[in-house]
Structure 1
Amino acid sequence: MHIRAATTKDIPLLCDLYTKFYCYNASLQPKYCIAVIETGEYIKWIMEQPDHTLFLAEYENSIGGFIHLAIAETPNYPSVAAHTFGQIVDLFVLEKYRGKGIGKQLVSAAKRWQTSKSLAYLELEVLANNPQAIKFYQKMGLTASRLTLNS
């Protein structure tokens, strides 16, 4: 397995992966997520942003998954210690490649990226009705620091 930065040559393949990712999210939360076809515009936008990174996991001559990372800053609140941190915006592993260590390698790459950028920590949001992802992130050492509730 090899983890590498995505390039513009990867856009067609990433379109397919993101389309599957959107469908997966829509199956978990159909009220808020839409199963759309990724055209490449979002991926191009990510690649143009200096504070965003996309890594791909190559596995057996195929791309098994991806992780989208971004640098974020705390809001300018007087009660919050200002700091910069990393966000895992998206993480997706194709179903046929799950359980082979791809997600673990992608999160490990994210942690190395975080360290290389001197970011305080990594954060992410995960759907509450995705217990498989929650269990995975907990195994990777991530813990809940806040809880978002909605009506």
Structure 2
Amino acid sequence: MKNIKIRPAEIKDLDTLRQFEQGVVTAERSFDPTIRPDNVTYYDIEDLIVDPHIQLLVAELDGEVIGSGYARIENSKPELRHRQHAYLGFMYVLQQYRGKGVNGLILSALKNWAAANGISELRLEVYNANESAITAYEKFGFGSHMLVMRMGL
């Protein structure tokens, strides 16, 4: 997997990124029964590409986009020591390339972008039942911070 190139997403990648978005939705439905069964979109992908406070990256192998992820600079809670953090999302790798380090390459590039923008903390959300994703994020250096709880009425 030495030929993987990490680059900023471009408008020409929209169709592929929309497919990736549906891959994320499909995967998350298995962890969250409250996601609607109809067509769901999470992202304004064009905005992710052009917003200067967001870095949307893709992994490309031999001209094929095989993965994605973004970092978005957000304001932190006022009581925290850091004024801003980078929130990571849209982490997706095509099935046949999972477990080959693609996600780690994207995470490293996003970490570097965040640091270059003066950010000292990365945050992300992952379903507690998504053990493979949790293991991958822990391997990269993330640790659990807070458990979000809910109750249906």
- Shorter-normalised TM-score: what interval? 0.7 to 0.9
Does residue 117 of structure 2 align to residue 117 of structure 1? Answer: yes
Where structure 1 has 5 or more consecutive residues not aligned to the other structure, the ranges are none
Cα distance between partner residues in 2 of 1:35 and 1:56: 27
Does residue 70 of structure 2 align to residue 99 of structure 1? Answer: no
Shift in Å at residue 150 of structure 1? 1.6
Structure 1: 4+ residue segments shifted above 4 A: none
Equivalent in 9, 12, 16 of residue 15 of structure 2: 12
1:87 alignment counterpart: 87
Shift in Å at residue 72 of structure 1? 0.8
CA RMSD of aligned residues (A): 2.0
Structure 1 counterpart of 2:32, one-letter code: Q
1:63 alignment counterpart: 65
Shift in Å at residue 30 of structure 1? 2.6
2:44 alignment counterpart: 42
Shift in Å at residue 34 of structure 1? 4.9
Alignment: residue pair count: 148
Answer yes or no: is the 8 Å Cα contact 1:57–1:64 preserved in 2: yes
Answer yes or no: is the 8 Å Cα contact 2:55–2:110 preserved in 1: no
TM-score, scaled relative to structure 2:
0.86
Cα distance between partner residues in 1 of 2:63 and 2:51: 28
* 3-state SS in 2 of match to 1:28: coil
Cα distance between partner residues in 1 of 2:85 and 2:128: 22
